[in-house]
Amino acid sequence: MQVNIALLPGDGIGPEVTASAVKVLQKIGEISGHSFAFQKQLIGGCAIDAHGTALTDETIQICQQSDAVFLGAVGGPKWDDPNATVRPERGLLKLRKALDVFANLRPVSVFPQLAEASPLKPEKLEGVDLLVVRELTGGLYFGEPKGRSIVDGVETAVDTLRYNANEIRRVVELAFQLAKDRSKKVTSVDKANVLESSRLWRKITAEVAANHPEVTLENMLVDTASMRLIQNPADIDVLVTSNMFGDILTDEASVLSGSMGLLPSASLGQGGPGLYEPIHGSAPDIAGKGIANPMGAILSAALMLRYSLNLPEEGVRVESAVRKVIETGNRTVDLGGKLGTAQITGLVLSAL
């Protein structure tokens, strides 16, 4: 099978961890008889430098015509001017919108061998295996009106939190479908005691839940959810929430695993190519040093094999190889070890 992947390494450590994922995909291709073709394009700060925009229309078209899109990371101090009219993050938001990938899946599990890397007590981490489903193309990040102006002589900023019923229904429906293959429990997180958008969210969630009686629904306010993720994370199976809340809660959940460098993500739509990326940022402080943890990127490739390329067995093989490397005591610097990006990648390739 010939697979066409749009490759967007981006900024900082993005190119380094993306290269690791590419090597793993090429190896899996050799093993299973599939061919992966990569078309590299610019996004983020490097695209601003080259084209004056964080994402060109040509790159969008290439991504839309691919079987899947793989991204490294965007941003860095060079482009970190809050007053800039063009910022690296706009490229990522524009790409999500163009691909209509409305649901971001972030699995969080804990390797027992890495329990000591988490700031939580080991007993808090037993049985943690949760999946956050974050709405990705609506809400506060995309609502209009948006902007800054002078009102009555005072500088004023406006962001609009807007959702419609269809945007909510499709992401909640996906969460319930995913829960059926897990522990059959959905925790829907909102702020319905304050926000009208959350009251609509809760209404639509109840309607979806009525069509899935085999799945238990739990409604939870976001402030309570932020505590539960630390106090009793093993009690959460599938957590579905809005764009802004999901952005915050997934970063909080990343500490359960011990490092953001371990966690993958998949952004899915309806029929088009999925977007895959590790959840960590561009980490400019370690870029070019060869010490970035490539596991999040490699596991994102495993999600791509499963969700976009219909190669679930190959995805499991990649995940098993990562597990074997971790179980045998190999650690990158962020996990208290001494191995670099290339060394860990080589060990994963050997395990495959």
Catalytic residues: 141, 191, 223, 247, 251
State residue 7 phi and psi, 5-degree precision: -110, 120
Mark 193-222 as b/e (b = at least 16 C-beta within 10 Å).
eeeebbebbeebbeebbeebeebebbbbeb
Matching residue, tokens 């690296």: 88
By C-alpha distance, which of 125, 120, 59 is closest to 92?
A: 59
By C-alpha distance, which of 305, 265, 317 is closest to 67?
A: 305
Contact criterion met (CB below 8 Å) for 103 and 133:
yes
User: How far apart are alpha carbons 201 and 244 in whole angstroms?
Assistant: 14
SS3 of residue 329 by DSSP = coil
Q: What is the full DSSP assignment across 101-167? A: --EEEEEEE--GGGGGGSSS-HHHHTT-EEEEEEE-SSGGGTEEEEEEEEETTEEEEEEE----HHH
User: How far apart are alpha carbons 258 and 256 in whole angstroms?
Assistant: 6
Q: Which residues pair with 216 in a beta bridge?
A: 185
Amino acid letter for position 196? E
Three-state SS letters, 169-191? HHHHHHHHHHHHCCCCEEEEEEC
